[in-house]
Amino acid sequence: MDQQVNMYRKMLAAAVSSILLEHGFDTVEKECLGTLTEMIQAFISEVGNQSKNYCELSGRSEPLIADVVLGFVDMGFNFNSLDSYVKSGKHSVLPTLQTQQPQKQLSMLPAGTKQPLPSHIPQHLPQFPDPHAYVRTPTHKQPIIDYESVREKAAIQKKDIEKALTKFLAKTSPTHNLFDTDESNIFPLIACKPAYPPYLSALLPPGSDFRSRGLGL
Amino acid sequence: MRHISNISIPFWMRGLELFSNYHLAAALKVDPDNNAGELVVTIPSEAAHLVAEGTALRVGIEFSLEQPQGGIHFVVPPKEGTYAERGVHMFTYGHQNSSRLWFPCVDSFAETCTWKLEFTVDEEMTAVSNGDLIEICVETYHYSLNIPTCAPNISLAVGPFEIFVDPYMHEVTHFCLPNLLPLLKVTTRYMHEAFEFYEETLSNRYPYSCYKQVFVDETHEDFRSYATMSILSVNLLHSAVIIDQVYLTRRAMAQAIAEQFYGCFISMQNWSDMWLNKGISQYLCGLYCKKSFGNNEYREMIQSTLLDVVKYEEEFGGIVLDPSQPPAPLPVGANTPQTSQKTSEEKFYFFNKEPPHHVSNFLTNSYHWQQTRLSKNWKWPVGSHINQYKCLYLRQFFTVTGKDMAVFIDQWVRTGGHAKFHLTSVFNRKNTIELEIRQDATTSLGIRKYVGPLLVTLQELDGTFKHNLQIENTVVKADITCHSKSRRNKKKKIPLCTERSVDMDLSAMDDSPVLWIRLDPEMTLLRSVVIEQPDYQWQYQLRHERDVTAQMEAIVALERYPTPPTRLALTDTIENEQSYYKVRCRAAHCLTKVANAMVANWAGPPAMLAIFRKLFGSFAAPHIIRQNSFQNFQHYYLQKTIPLAMAGLRNTHGICPPEVIRFLLDLFKYNDNSKNRHSDNYYRAALVEALGNTVTPVVSVVSQGTPITAENLSADTKLILEEITRLLNLEKALPCYKYTVSVACLHAIRKLQKFGHLPSRPHLFKSYAAYGHFIDVRLAALECLVDFVKADGKWEDLQHVLDILENDPDPGLRHKLAALLIKNPPFKKAHRGRLDIPELVDRIWTSINCMLSHDTRLRCDLVDLYHTLYVKPSAPKPIPFLSDIKRAKSPTSISRDGPQPILMDTVECMNIEVVASEDKVKEEEIIDKKLLHQNQNRSISLIILFLCQEWVKVVR
């Protein structure tokens, strides 16, 4: 609503300003312009009210030009002079009103489709807000816990880890190539290097001891 | 020399022949049993009167040994730190009597004395030697051994050992290298059981006051027993999460202990008695294995040993256990050609590779053994001379049992070869079954005629019936009346020999009431058996006979009958939880062959896929394998075997079906060992091996000669290669027990190379074969390398292998590498191979003659290699002629150039391997069969078997 009032007032203020320019004013104080705008607004509103009253008095729902003339008369305004005023001078034409773009904000906020009001709530009451405002939405996907996919995931994860580890090691250490050409070493083998004493890592592989400890040995 | 023509090939053959003579002469010159030796002590004239008076003369020998080439092995890892931190250690080793390599002694098993030993070592080191530790004063260890012991049984090990006293038997102490104590405790957990078992079985105490086990690295052989101590390979140790190694280790330890009784405490007088000690100790160890691993395991072991021996004899000729005497001269005419000759030849063999002769020895042993054990009259021979030799044995045996064993010994100990029976049967309408047992191949290598009793078992509808047949000729026919009438429609349980009854589906039978026939089911003879019976009888035998050896035989036979009933019988066996696991595994492999033969009309998914999913698939999703849980021992082995067997499947195009490859890749993908108490390293290795086995020769789209690149690999190969490289790389960061996965990966890569999927290159294997890697990995790499050399190798590749063979620090590895080369020689003899060049022959010849005085075993290996490469198998010539010729020769010394050309046209080429078979007795007489009772035969043949196995092991 405010928006619209402001729009009308803006237009009225523009009209007042152009009239003032026609009459030779160069500047106007903001307060004066406001007052003048307020006055012309009050005037036009009053004329409209009067016209409506006359129209309703004669049993109509829409005012005719005669009703408007009577409204002017009631306000003590000579309607005929209006005609000459329009024809007399060259008035500057106000720019046509731009159709107001619907506010972008409105379209950004809604999320999802609004729920229609349930039947026990009168339809005139405000609509529900956007669903996200009141519906609880899980913030994460529910994990799938059937056996097959769990195993699948564990397998893939394990493989990925191993792949990443071996790839890293292969990149950071010397490698063997199974092929003759160097450029296509897509299956690099990490070069082996002797470890002394060789039996130690073979008989006691790292990671084996914690398991056996669990067996109470 | 450059020009090796046809003439010069016999030249080299003669070389080996000549070599054997000189070698024998050299051996005899230093043989203490022949009063020959290396050290001459001149008694100074001042002391001469002592000799005259007959008083004692004490001789002290002071010597020092620097940089010994053999006899003592030092393991010195090249890294930083003190000796203890680096695990530096040393120990003595050698093939049989090799003690003279590290101290002056009468190096004979026949000369015994008591010992006092003192060792001064570094502070952080422990010296372990024979006898009781008397005291340790200032880094000096004093040992004293009061039981007379021969020099070859003296040993020493020094190292920064961790010491563990056996909690069950305080007289037993275990030693291992630093950091391995937890493994040592696990490994030796059950060792005391072997002691208890032996003492109980022999009804005698363990003869020594203490026993020590030392686990060291880079051993010559897996274990070697010395008086009161044994030196074992560190690689026998295992942790509690390992399954497969446990059986091997326990067996090795049990064998080492058995050799304390027979071999150390009771040693031998002559080399020809060796079979007694070897035989009895292996028999004892076998009994222990039977007790701890079960009767099935034991019977299966006997059977596979028997098969090994048969295979060996048919390839190389009969094995004579005791060559010291020929079999008693046969009454009729008989060839008495070679008494002395044979002995010497055998002697040569003995020194070379002692095993062959000892094979037949088993006979006497078990005979004696059985009797002594039963009668309990046997006592340890007490006295200053503890050598027990055959005469003593025989006398003892005779005293105890009143039986003369001469015939028995002649038949099995002094004669090589085995019997081969061929059985056919026909059922005639008179309700009799006509059996025909033939011994056709008695003239083939390693086979001889058998005369004596033979047990035939018929399983009929009414039960099991045993028939004792007398084998007197090459063809024996017997009509046996069946006990049961053919009545296929009657429903009745069928009694088995185990006195249990089973229901059988008899619809496959024809009129005969015989379900199956078995020959010599108790394996009392050294024999091979071919039985011809229809496939349904084999199927019945597989399904219903409860003896594992019968089931094994049935499986082998069923390979020839690829029919749906066979398939069903095999499938049922694999699924049967009551069956012995080795039978099930074997059935799986057999099913592979049957499925491949039936590929044209095979319906349904690949063989065994359904079984595997049923056994190991998870409940919710059968295509995903369950998390590993190796609680069920049989399932563990099946889980390892079935993928391997499936990998052998081929479709009509001769390639592995894609669904099998996908199945295998899925096994890798879903393998999850996180909840398992055991390690899955052997399982993963089996999977890699299976993956390697799916590889078939590449179908080349590109023309030959274009380089193989990663881009033009097939999709399946890429997947396989990706899996293999990932696992091999992972082993660098997360190694598994004994690097089993790396070993399998190397083999798989070699297979890909061999079949043209990868360029055939040796670099990878060379680097893995280098010193400093774990021995199993090195051996795998060497095996691949040897294979590469055979296929694509150049001279420098072969040189690389030979360098390792000659110079590697690890003596055990050198021997095993030689075995690999012999098994897979770089070229076939007389095929004019690329590598058949004079340098190679020179090199081997030089090694044999000049380089290996300290390592007789390797020398024998090289002689074998030489033989494999250059000596043509030819009909053996009677030796006497040769020997005459040789005697005429002037004793030129063996130079690296080989024999002198004078000999060229006088001597025919000889195959030394064949020489052993000379002992075959060509004419045999009927022997008094009453002597040979089945039972006695049985245990005797067991011992024979073990001996044979020993021999085969050494040779292979």
Q: Mind listing the pLDDT tens digit for each residue in B870-907?
A: 876 653 333 322 222 222 222 222 223 332 222 222 22
Q: What is the pLDDT of residue B482?
A: 81
Higher pLDDT, residue A69 or B708: A69
* Interface contact B81, partner A, CB < 8 A: no
Segment B584-600 shows an average pLDDT of: 93
Cross-chain CB nearest to A196 (options B77, B725, B728): B77
Residue B739 DSSP label = G
Closest by alpha carbon to B95, among B771, B864, B861? B861
Instruction: Find how far residue B857's CA is from the centre of its chain.
Output: 15
Average pLDDT over residues B658-664: 92
Q: Lowest-pLDDT range, B13-27, B218-232, B566-580?
A: B13-27
Specify the pLDDT at position B949.
45
Given a cut of 80, whether residue A76 has pLDDT beyond it is yes
Output the pLDDT for position B404. 61
Q: How far apart are CA B261 and CA B205, in angstroms?
A: 10
Q: What was the pLDDT predicted at B375? A: 31
Residue B743: closest CA among B787, B774, B767, B786:
B774
Question: Strand pairing partners for B313?
Answer: none
Higher-confidence position of B709 and B952? B709
Find the closest chain A residue to B245 by CA distance.
A203
**Residue B329: per-residue pLDDT:** 46
- Nearest residue to B277 via CA among B795, B900, B946: B946
pLDDT at B350 (0 to 100): 29
The reply to whether B772 touches chain A by the CB within 8 Å rule is yes
Predicted confidence band at A93 (pLDDT cuts at 50, 70, 90)?
confident
Q: Looking at per-residue confidence, does B521 or B408 come out higher?
A: B521
First-to-last alpha carbon distance for chain B, in angstroms, is: 32
Using the predicted structure, report yes or no on whether residue B352 has a pLDDT greater than 50.
no
* Among B39, B63, B934, residue whose Cα is nearest residue B521: B934
Of A128-132, B213-217, B246-250, B772-776, which range is least confident? A128-132
Residues B810 and B771: their CA atoms lie apart, in Å, by 8
Searching chain B, which residue's CA lies closest to the CA of residue A174?
A: B729
Instruction: Pick the range with the lowest mean pLDDT from B167-171, B590-594, B845-849.
Output: B845-849
Name, in order, each residue with C-beta under 8 angstroms of B108's C-beta and a sequence gap of 6 or more.
B31, B32, B33, B97, B150, B151, B152
- What does the pLDDT look like over B385-400, one tens digit per residue? 333 344 455 555 555 5
Of B724-738, B844-858, B925-939, where does mean pLDDT reach its minimum? B925-939
**B190-212 tens-digit pLDDT:** 999 999 999 998 888 898 999 99
Please report how many Cα atoms fall inside a 13 Å half-sphere around the Cα of residue B443, on the Cβ side.
2
Is it the case that residue B857 has pLDDT exceeding 80?
Answer: yes
B382 pLDDT band, cuts 50/70/90, is very low
Q: What is the pLDDT of residue B276?
A: 78
Nearest CA to CA, how far is B154 from chain A (Å)?
26
Residue B931: predicted pLDDT: 27
In chain A, the residue whose alpha carbon lies closest to the alpha carbon of B671 is A155
CA distance B192 to chain A (A): 18
Half-sphere exposure of B535 (CA within 13 A, CB side): 13
Q: Which residue of A has its CA nearest to B181?
A: A204
Distance of CA B204 to the CA centre of its chain: 30
Q: Taking residues B446-474, report their average pLDDT.
A: 86
Average pLDDT in chain B? 77
Which DSSP category does A169 fall into?
H
State whether A202 and B738 contact (CB < 8 Å): yes
Evaluate if residue B549 carries a pLDDT over 90: yes
- Between B213-227, B688-702, B778-792, B862-876, the lowest mean confidence (pLDDT) is in B862-876
B791 CB-near residues (< 8 Å, 6+ apart): B754, B760
Range with the poorest average pLDDT among B69-78, B82-91, B366-375? B366-375
Identify all chain A residues contacting B187, using CB atoms and an 8 Å cutoff: none
DSSP B189: T
CA–CA separation, B811 and B67 (whole Å): 15
Percent of chain A with pLDDT strictly greater than 70: 85
Query: Are B362 and B948 in contact, with CB atoms under 8 Å apart?
Result: yes
Residue B689 three-state SS: helix
Q: Which residue has the higher pLDDT, B303 or B928?
A: B303
Mean pLDDT lowest among B5-14, B130-139, B689-698, B725-734: B5-14
Secondary structure (DSSP) of A205-217: -TTHHHHHHHTT-
Q: How much is the pLDDT for A90? A: 73
Find, in chain B, the residue whose alpha carbon is nearest to that of A177.
Answer: B764
Tell me how far CA of residue B600 lies from CA of B280, B558, B651, B695, in angstroms. Answer: 52, 19, 8, 21
- The verdict on a CB contact (< 8 Å) between A204 and B180 is yes
Among A152, A180, A196, A209, the residue to mutate for chain B (most B Cβ within 10 A): A196
Interface predicted TM-score of the whole assembly (ipTM), two decimals: 0.72
Q: In this model, does residue B923 exceed pLDDT 80?
A: no
First-to-last CA distance in chain A?
84
Mean pLDDT across B749-757:
91
User: Whole-angstrom Cα distance, residue B603 to residue B598?
Assistant: 9
Domain A2-88 has CATH 1.20.58.390: no
Chain B nearest C-alpha distance from A160 (Å)? 11
What average pLDDT does this structure show over B341-348?
29
pLDDT category of residue A210 using cuts at 50, 70 and 90: very low
Q: Which one is predicted more confidently, B324 or B668? A: B668
| Cβ–Cβ < 8 Å for B621, B587 | no
Task: Give pLDDT tens digits for B470-529.
Answer: 888 888 888 888 877 655 555 567 777 766 777 777 776 767 788 889 998 888 888 889
| Distance from C-alpha of B876 to C-alpha of B910, rounded to nearest angstrom | 6
Using a CB-CB distance cutoff of 8 angstroms, which residues of chain A are in contact with residue B708? Answer: 179-180
> Which of B340, B301, B348 is CA-nearest to residue B549?
B301
The residues, ordered by sequence, that sit 6+ positions from A19 with a Cβ below 8 Å of its Cβ are: none
Question: Per the structure block, which two tokens stand in for B770?
Answer: 């280098």
Going by C-alpha positions, the residue among B548, B592, B541, B596 that lies closest to residue B571 is: B592
Lay out the sheet containing B229-233: strands in order across. Answer: B162-165, B172-176, B211-216, B229-233, B223-226
Q: Do A169 and B710 touch (CB under 8 A)?
A: no
Give the residue, B608 or A114, on which the prediction is more confident. B608
Token pair for residue B233?
């390979």
Average the pLDDT over A187-210 and give the result.
80
Q: Is the Cβ pair A217, B185 closer than 8 Å?
A: yes
* Whether B766 contacts B800, CB under 8 Å: yes
* Predicted local confidence at residue B405, as pLDDT: 65
Q: How confident is the model at residue B831 (pLDDT cuts 50, 70, 90)?
A: confident
Q: Which of B149, B153, B151 is nearest to B114 (CA)?
A: B149
Residue from B941, B924, B945, B845 nearest B13 by CA: B845
Distance CA A133, CA A130 (A): 6
Q: Which amino acid is at A163?
A: K
Facing residue for A169 by CB, picked from B185, B732, B763: B732
Q: Check whether B451 has a pLDDT greater than 90.
A: no
Nearest to B360 by CA among B843, B944, B871, B795: B944
- B22 contact A CB<8A: no
Question: Residue B277: what pLDDT?
Answer: 81
Cβ neighbours of B626 in A, within 8 Å: none
pTM above 0.80? no
Angle at B183 between CA B177 and CA B184, to 5 degrees: 65
Find the helix or strand (DSSP H, E) in which B276 lies.
helix B274-293
| Cβ distance of A202 and B186 shorter than 8 Å | no
Q: Band of the pLDDT at A128, cuts 50, 70, 90? A: confident
pLDDT in tens, B261-318: 888 888 888 777 777 788 888 888 989 999 999 999 999 988 888 888 888 888 877 7
C-alpha–C-alpha distance, residues B818 and B352, integer Å = 14
Q: Any residues with CB less than 8 A from the CB of B633 and at least 6 apart, and which? A: B243, B581
Asked whether the predicted pLDDT for residue B413 surpasses 80, the reply is no
**B147, exposed or middle or buried, with CB in 10 Å at 0-12, 13-18, 19+?**
middle
Average pLDDT, chain A: 81
Q: Over 60: is that where the pLDDT of B940 sits?
A: no
Checking if the pLDDT of B702 tops 80, the result is no
3-state percent breakdown (helix, strand, coil) of chain A, nearest 5: 55, 0, 45
Does position B336 have pLDDT exceeding 50, yes or no? Answer: no
**With contact defined as beta carbons under 8 Å apart, do B531 and B504 qualify?**
no
Lowest mean pLDDT among A124-133, B506-515, B937-946: B937-946
Taking only residues 577 to 596 of chain B, the set having a beta carbon closer than 8 angstroms to any beta carbon of chain A reads: none
Residue B513 tokens read as: 């009431």
- Structure confidence at residue B163 (pLDDT): 94
Lowest mean pLDDT among A131-140, B104-113, B502-511: B502-511
- Note the pLDDT of residue B325: 66
Residue B739 has pLDDT above 90, yes or no: yes
B539 in Cβ contact with B565 (< 8 Å): yes
- E strands along chain A, which residues? 175-176, 189-190
Every domain of chain A and the residues it spans: 2-88, 147-205
CA distances in angstroms from B246 to B240, B243, B639, listed in the order given: 9, 6, 18
What are phi and psi for residue B474, nearest 5 degrees? -75, -25
Could you tell me how many CB contacts below 8 A there are between chain A and chain B? 166
* pLDDT at residue B341 tops 50: no
Residue B373 tokens read as 């054990």
Report DSSP state, residue B153.
Answer: G
Residue-by-residue DSSP string for B477-500: EEEEE-SS---TTS---EE-TTS-
Tell me the average pLDDT across B903-921.
Answer: 26
